[in-house]
Chains A and B, each alone.
Chain A
Amino acid sequence: MDELLTQFLIEGRELTADAHRALQRLERAGDDAAALDALFRAIHTLKGSVGLFEMKPAERMLHAAETSLARLRGEDALLTVGERDGLVAVIDQLDRWIDAMESAGRLPETAEATAREIVAEISREPGEPAGLPAPPPDWLSTLLLRPQFAGRLPAAGGTAFRYSPDTDCFFRGEDPLATAAAVPDLLALALLPAGPWPEFDEFDPFRCRTIIEGVSSADAESVGAAFRLVPDQIAVGRVGAAAAAPADPGAASQSALRVEGHKLDRLARLAGELSVAVHGLDGLAGRAGLSDRALAADLKRAQAAIENATGSLHATIAAIRLVPLAPVLRRLPRLAREVAAALGKEVDFVIRGENTEADKQIADALFEPLLHLVRNAIDHGIEFPDEREGGGKSPRGRVSLDIETHGERLHISLADDGAGIDPEHLREAAIAKGLVEREAGENLSTAQALRLIFAPGFSTAKAVSSVSGRGVGMDAVLAAVERLQGSIEVESTPGTGTTLRLDLPLNAILTRLLTVSAGGELFGLRLDQISETLRVEEHEIHAVGQGRACVIRGRTVPVLELATLLGKPGETTGAARLVVTEATGEPVAVRVGEWGGRLDTMIRERSGLLAAIPAIGGTAVLGDGGVLLVLDLPELLS
């Protein structure tokens, strides 16, 4: 493909996403001048870009939008509902046309007529664009470009601060962190070294060498009040006007390099194999220790050094692979509008935290499952406007997608304020479809009943609509998320709405395993599927009905033997070593022979003969070159 076009496809999509975000902010606050400026800039830049290609109708449409925005800015007027709809139409249409340029290399035949319609809808008297707002101070412009604050900046009327505590403040009994924690409505923090740090061996822990920066949605006065005792160490600036969009978006990416994804994948794989290979030195050092202790110690030291370097290598690769989710999510708002329109429903779809970064592999694989969940929420969750009004709700439904990170995990929640899911209805439907026996079905807890939506071939919609398909899908969504080593939880209140929570790793390269033995063989269990490991005495495990169970912190938890599950003879030792998993929704304890060690490794997808065995989640290569079978606990227990 033409390089210029490739570039346009990337930038054009980024700009339409920018325009959407600005428009959403304008919808919330009609007088948000910064949002209006950002929208104007995006439309203006897009107009310039489409001019380079055979996209005349798009250019005319963008010109009309730009004219209408210039008038708004010139007159300080508020955006009307009609104008907003017109602008949404422009951006959505452009988005479709960018897709068309990618797939067909040209606009569809109907483009001319479509553009004429849209232009007629938004045409206004031309006005002169107003000047851009004054630039913010240096510290503030730097602060706003920090990755820590990406996606966390307040829309308008917010405040940023830079707190440079005195070096001796710890001696005076001050805790600058406690001071910063007292800032109202804090959205994000950054900790930075004040000047170059000494070697860690010479670090004086009682000298403060850290600068704290933060952003808050509160006004400058309330933020300043938190620092009233340290007025000489604080700078406070308003965020909003000039700051909402980075002053120069090019600045951050000036030295950026576009690298093809598969090259990074290969680098990551090689680094993974390197760390496995280093584990091999463990055994060597042990063997060397039998004859030559000094040699063994040297080997250990060399191993530690390589492990350190490998660790840094992994962290670096993982950081390079982090990409913002925004490009993946940018089509969702348009698709949500199309789905709602096709069904005759009114829905506000909001995304928060789209600038959150995650591993490329995770980001790439998220679109399909999220699209499906959004479709489902609109189709099965949100009621028709008259039903909603009858239930005392606003006729417009709301679906919100919230993305945030918690340590090394990516948390995505999709909430709708629709009809909710009735667990009783799910139980009935599952029994009627023969997915569960009647008795088992009636005994399902609410949490287990809600998980029935993930059962293959399960659909509770009374009518099959053209949008969500025919009840295939939620199982595919769950499978896709589990392939990424994630999990989904469902919460729902009938009449009030449903929230789906996805918990995914931020970095998908290495998997932490616990090795265990069963029936004399070694297996790997994924640590993210294990909630705890514990040792109980044989007599604490009781026969309950057909099975066995023990009490863990006041809860009765079924106990299964891993060896038996794998068709091997059971364990006979006195003390029982249990691995507790909640990956199936409820805690289950699996008794294993011995616990081995923990291992960070790459799991290879099961293939060939192994693919036929459902309980095998994949394989990992051990330090001695042997192959470790990695078990998939949810599949093994299902």
Chain B
Amino acid sequence: MTVRVADGVIFLEGACPVEDAEPLLLALQDCAAAQVDVSGLERMHLAVAQLLLAAGPAIAGAPEPAFLRDLLLPAIAAFAREQTVSGRSDADL
């Protein structure tokens, strides 16, 4: 289990394979204002990344692997920014 919820924060840790998509979806549906901490993330399946993209939660922490930290997370953050600018995210929330 690499999706862990503690104190309103969803922690994504380790490899985060496709199986983690379901628990993450439930956690995000449970708490729309949740923060997602990715400090301990080592890998992430697109199914998991896709949920972060769709839900647009606040993301905290910088994971070790450069691909996640420098390429993937900035891409997710950029998408969230674009959504808020065009005002579409309000419907998603």
B75 touches A210 (CB 8 A): no
Q: A189-B75, A210-B46, A312-B90 are in contact. Are A320 and B18 (CB under 8 A)?
A: no
Judged by a CB distance under 8 angstroms, whether A322 is at the interface is yes
Per-position 1/0 for A4-29, Cβ under 8 A of B: 00000000000000000000000000
> Considering only CB atoms, which chain B residue lies closest to A307 in the complex?
B33
**Least distance between A124 CB and chain B CB atoms (Å):** 44
The interface on chain A, measured as residues whose beta carbon lies within 8 A of the other chain's beta carbons, has a size of: 44
Inter-chain CA distance A408–B9, complex, in Å, is: 17
Within A288-343, the residues touching B (CB, 8 Å) are 304, 307-309, 311-312, 315-316, 319-320, 322
Contacts of B21 on A, CB cut-off 8 Å?
Answer: 205-206
B78 touches A406 (CB 8 A): no
A175 touches B46 (CB 8 A): yes
Contacts of A181 on B, CB cut-off 8 Å?
Answer: 67, 71
B79 touches A192 (CB 8 A): yes
B53 touches A191 (CB 8 A): yes
Contacts of B75 on A, CB cut-off 8 Å?
Answer: 148, 188-191
Contacts of B92 on A, CB cut-off 8 Å?
Answer: 197, 199-200
Inter-chain CA distance A203–B22, complex, in Å, is: 10
B76 touches A193 (CB 8 A): no
B50 touches A201 (CB 8 A): no
Tell me if B's interface is mostly helix, strand, loop or mixed: helix
Contacts of B85 on A, CB cut-off 8 Å?
Answer: 316, 319-320
Tell me if A's interface is mostly helix, strand, loop or mixed: mixed
Q: A175-B18, A177-B45, A316-B85 are in contact. Are A311 and B79 (CB under 8 A)?
A: no
Judged by a CB distance under 8 angstroms, whether B81 is at the interface is yes
Within A169-222, the residues touching B (CB, 8 Å) are 170, 175-178, 181, 186, 188-193, 197, 199-201, 203, 205-206, 208-210, 212, 214
Q: Range of interface residues on chain B?
A: 35 or more
Judged by a CB distance under 8 angstroms, whether A405 is at the interface is yes
Task: Please tell me which one of the listed residues A178, A189, A200 contacts residue B71 in the complex, with CB atoms under 8 A apart.
Answer: A189
Judged by a CB distance under 8 angstroms, whether B5 is at the interface is no
B33 touches A319 (CB 8 A): no
Judged by a CB distance under 8 angstroms, whether B25 is at the interface is yes
Q: A148-B75, A177-B72, A191-B76 are in contact. Are A210 and B53 (CB under 8 A)?
A: yes
**Least distance between B49 CB and chain A CB atoms (Å):** 6
Per-position 1/0 for B20-58, Cβ under 8 A of A: 011011001100110000000001111101110111001
B54 touches A193 (CB 8 A): yes
Within A483-513, the residues touching B (CB, 8 Å) are none
Judged by a CB distance under 8 angstroms, whether A618 is at the interface is no
Judged by a CB distance under 8 angstroms, whether A246 is at the interface is no
Inter-chain CA distance A308–B91, complex, in Å, is: 12
Inter-chain CA distance A405–B74, complex, in Å, is: 8
Most chain B C-beta atoms within 10 Å of own C-beta, residue among A188, A200, A201, A308? A200
The 6 tightest CB contacts between A and B, nearest first, are A205-B21, A177-B46, A315-B84, A189-B75, A148-B78, A319-B81
23 A-B contact pairs sorted by A residue (CB < 8 Å): A147-B81, A165-B46, A170-B46, A181-B71, A186-B67, A186-B71, A189-B71, A189-B75, A190-B78, A191-B53, A191-B75, A191-B76, A200-B54, A205-B47, A206-B21, A210-B49, A210-B50, A212-B46, A214-B71, A316-B87, A319-B85, A407-B69, A408-B77
